[in-house]
Chain A
Amino acid sequence: MKRVLVPIAALLAAALASPAALAQKKYDQGASDKEILIGHINPYSGPASAYGTIGRAIAAYFKKVNEEGGVNGRQINMISYDDGYSPPKTVEMARKLVEQDKVLLIFQPLGTPPNSAIHKYMNAKKVPQLFVATGATKWNDAKRFPWTMGWQPNYQTEAKIYAQQILKDKPNAKIAVLYQNDDYGKDYLEGFKAGLGAKAKTMIVKEASYEVSDPTVDSQMAQLQASGADTFFNITTPKFAAQAIRKAWDSGWKPLHYLNNVSGSIGSTLKPAGLDKSVGLITTQYIKDQNDKAWANDPDVVAWTAFMKKYYPEGNLAATENYYGWCVAQSLVQVLKQSGNDLTRANVMKQAASLKNFAPNCLLPGIKINTSATDFAPIESVQLARFNGTEWVRFGEIMGK
């Protein structure tokens, strides 16, 4: 019903508005004096349905924004569809949002394959595909795909930071790398090698890969240990990360151990591996972990907890996805705020590419979102953290851009 009313509301608004006001306000489909209609695609069912709660947290945040008066007086209405993490369904849903529901933009589609499936379509239609929920590096390609933008630090950015750290602290390191044999693992490895530069060939003494379908990574770990490496870069997802950490400890190999952010969760990686076996691990962080005791009284985390209790009471307070949802939704609201009364797709994209030192209430202190016409990677800085047996202790400066 709401959707049926949109064109009527738009017509009424157009009829009532004075010519002077019309001259200032510019709208593309989906935007009007009263409303900003956005589309959203998320896996509420299927293999990645654990991420479904992100969509609910985002919807809850927009509800809060709307109750507090909306963005520049306009209500944000979000239509969210389930694609079950199936690329053909993502295409169908994106077309439905753009062509039938007539949304202004599509926000936060999740996963590399689903986003790849609509990448060309969104750019051909010139509809913003904004803040996609994947860390692949290819979303930062303003030249070829000016209508698509990522959000989280991409894998290569993160890997380069580990490389810089190693070059600084341990220039003669002999490095072993374990990586998942897919786009995610290769993206990290590529970034890592680029970060080491010319020294990559001599410093990396051994690479081993595994398939997601492998039962364990024990044999890979044995190979890596046998190489005589003293530094280990662990590019794995939580289950395999836990195996690798445990194996490295049990076999008596004590390398300087870098763990990718993907598996940085204490609950899903370090606990299964054994907290005592995880001491000394180094990873990067960009977002405050609401489960970390260090942030228990932090105003951002307190505000988030209050928000969850009021707008999404059935949501799980331990799920980092809910914290992420609130964080990324703030970024979209900022873009819409900056867009003012010029709610055209071109201007929304222009504003998304003009974020300057924007700090949503969720990132680590000192990390800011910066974008430009050529830089479509919003979060590009992280901080290194070392595990002390109970929590991650951040150290050093904010690294990256």
Chain B
Amino acid sequence: MKKHALLGYGVLLLVACALPFLVSEYRSFQFTLVLVYSIALLGLNILTGYNGQISLGHGAFYAIGAYCAAILMDKAGFPYWATIPLAGAVCLVAGFLFGLPALRLEGLYLALATFALGVSLPQLLKYHHLEEWTGGVQGIVITKPDAPEFLAALGLTLNQDQWLYFFTLGVAVVMFVLGWNLLRGRLGRAMMAIRDNHVAAEAMGVNNAMVKSLTFGVSAMFTGVSGALGAIAIQFVAPDSFNIFLSLTFLIGIVIGGLASIPGALYGALFIQFVPNIADEVSKAAPWAIFGLFLIGFTYLMPMGIAGAIRLGLARLTRKGHNSQPGKP
């Protein structure tokens, strides 16, 4: 990583840390959701942006993660932080297993298979033999965590929303570093090779089916972690929370944010969190029409997503810098 990029991320992190002290509790809560969504979007982006597989059912993995956290906290008395890695592990396995047969399907057929997963899961959650754990349509109410006591001992008093924000921020940073590491490594290169030309990748010795299933698993894991965090932030899970629209929202998020871009996940999360609210403020009668206008506007003005537009803008700026100093490379 270049020095100025590192500096950029440092400043971003600093701003992120200062945020909950500058805005209201309600806004902190909204930014917590942005962080939650950004992890899910990163997960989907690994699958769609980097590996070229379309999923219309990632809401299902988000739901599995959320229910893992809720059931572990509600029935087994787990502390909230311990549910995050477990939710991730469950989704990793679930994603991998779903990936094995589904990935024989290409392109649009895979999209349909995942769509089926997305539409069926909310109904499965209502299934009466599972009700003992899932709570059926009633869902599960969970308690919001307090800031740990050692922070108060250090003289740092945080309210619940601020603490949850920092907790989510911490998990998000870990997940983003993990994702970044994964994508620039061997597996990441294999993923991209499959996306760009799967025959060539196979010829190079990449085990296509294995890498694709693994990618599906990793992608589901990110989304599951995000779902668990989302459940803790919302304090409630119910089948109605995870309808097919959630899956579509994730897809919108990665396309608007920028395909195959790590910061794109964050931009996309900001979009899916705030733009529907703005649309609702603009028009009560037809909020989704306004949302559609935003969507068309963004895709038209920024064909490579917000991340692509920023990259282009930065490139133009630096080129200008170079031009003003002729003679230097």
Decide whether A and B are members of one complex.
Answer: yes
User: For the complex, what is the distance from the CA of A44 to the CA of B279, rounded to whole Å?
Assistant: 13
CA–CA, A336 and B141, complex, Å: 31
Nearest Cβ distance between residue A181 and chain B, in whole angstroms?
5
Contact between chains at B138 and A116 (CB < 8 Å): yes
Set A80, A92, A111: member contacting B30, Cβ < 8 A: A92
> Do residues B26 and A100 form an inter-chain contact, with CB atoms below 8 A?
yes
**Nearest A residue (CB) for B140:** A116
Q: Are A120 and B287 in contact, with the CB atoms below 8 A?
A: no
* Pair B123/A87 contact, Cβ less than 8 Å: no
Kindly state whether residue B201 has any CB partner on chain A within 8 Å: no
A368 and B26 alpha carbons, distance in the complex (Å): 39
Residue A66 at the chain B interface, CB threshold 8 Å: no
Stretch from B230-238, B296-304, B316-324 at the A interface:
B230-238
Q: Does A295 contact B (CB under 8 A)?
A: no
Chain B residue total in the interface (Cβ 8 A) = 30
Evaluate contact between B240 and A86: CB separation under 8 angstroms: yes
- Contact flag A91-B26 (CB < 8 Å), given A86-B240, A182-B136, A211-B126: no
Given contacts A95-B26, A113-B137, contact A82 B280 (CB under 8 A): yes
Q: A86-B245, A100-B26, A117-B238 are in contact. List 10 more A-B contacts (CB 8 A).
A: A82-B280, A87-B241, A88-B241, A95-B25, A95-B26, A111-B240, A117-B241, A120-B143, A182-B137, A183-B136
Interface flags, A114-145, vs B, CB<8A=1, else 0:
10110111000000000000000000000000
Q: Which of B24, B123, B141 contacts A120 (CB 8 A)?
A: B141
> What's the Cα separation between A388 and B326 when bound, in Å?
95
B167 at the interface (CB under 8 A from A): no
Question: What are 28 A-B residue pairs whose CB atoms fall within 8 Å in the complex?
Answer: A45-B287, A45-B288, A47-B240, A84-B245, A86-B241, A86-B243, A86-B245, A87-B234, A87-B236, A87-B238, A87-B241, A88-B236, A91-B235, A95-B25, A95-B29, A96-B26, A112-B138, A113-B137, A113-B138, A113-B238, A116-B139, A116-B141, A117-B234, A117-B236, A121-B235, A183-B136, A209-B128, A213-B123
CB distance from B37 to the nearest CB of A (A): 11
Would B235 and A120 count as touching, CB distance under 8 A?
yes
Pair B238/A91 contact, Cβ less than 8 Å: no
A-facing mask of B282-301, CB < 8 A → 1, else 0? 00100110000000000000
In the complex, the chain A residue whose C-beta lies closest to that of B27 is A100
A183 touching B138 in the complex, CB below 8 Å, given contacts A47-B243, A213-B123: yes
Please give me the 7 A-B residue pairs with the lowest Cβ-Cβ distance, nearest first: A99-B26, A117-B236, A113-B238, A182-B137, A113-B240, A88-B234, A87-B241
Closest approach, in angstroms, between the C-beta of B213 and any C-beta of chain A? 30
Rounded to whole angstroms, the CA-CA distance of A88 and B62 in the bound complex is: 13
Complex interface: chain B residues within 8 A of A80 (CB): 284
Minimum CB distance partner of A119 in chain B: B141
Distance to closest chain B CB from A59 (angstroms):
10
Q: Which residue of A lies closest to B235 (CB)?
A: A120
Residues of B contacting A84 with CB < 8 Å?
Answer: 245
Contact code string B13-44 (vs A, CB < 8 Å = 1, else 0): 00000000000111001100100000000000
In the assembled complex, how far is the CB of residue A42 from the closest CB belonging to chain B, in whole angstroms?
10
Residue of A nearest to B230 (CB): A88
Check B230 against A113 for contact (C-beta < 8 Å): no
Residues of B within 8 Å of A45, CB to CB, are 287-288
User: Once bound together, how far apart are the Cα atoms of A119 and B140, in whole Å?
Assistant: 12
Q: Is the beta-carbon distance between A183 and B137 smaller than 8 angstroms?
A: yes
Query: In the bound complex, how far is the Cα of B123 from the Cα of A181, in angstroms?
Result: 12
Contact with B along A293-333 (1 / 0, CB 8 A): 00000000000000000000000000000000000000000
A85 is an interface residue with CB less than 8 A from chain B: yes
A121→B26 CA distance, assembly (Å): 12
User: B284, A113: Cβ atoms under 8 Å?
Assistant: no
B126 x A44 contact (CB < 8 A): no
Q: Distance in Å from the Cβ of B241 to the closest Cβ of chain A? A: 5
Q: Is the CB of B123 within 8 A of A116?
A: no
CB < 8 Å neighbour of A116 from B33, B236, B287: B236
| Chain A residue with the shortest CB-CB distance to B279 | A82
Report B123-136 CB contacts with A as 1/0, cut-off 8 Å: 10010100000001
- With beta carbons under 8 angstroms apart, the residue of A44, A86, A92, A112 that contacts B137 is A112
Task: Name which residue of chain B comes closest to A186, CB basis.
Answer: B136
Task: Decide: A182 near B126, CB < 8 A? Known: A86-B243, A112-B137, A117-B238.
Answer: yes
With a CB–CB cut-off of 8 A, which chain B residues contact A88? 230, 234, 236, 241
> How far is B236's CA from A92's CA once the two chains are assembled, in angstroms?
12
Q: Does A151 sit at the interface, judged by CB under 8 A?
A: no
What is the CA–CA distance of A92 and B161 in the complex, to the nearest angstrom? 13
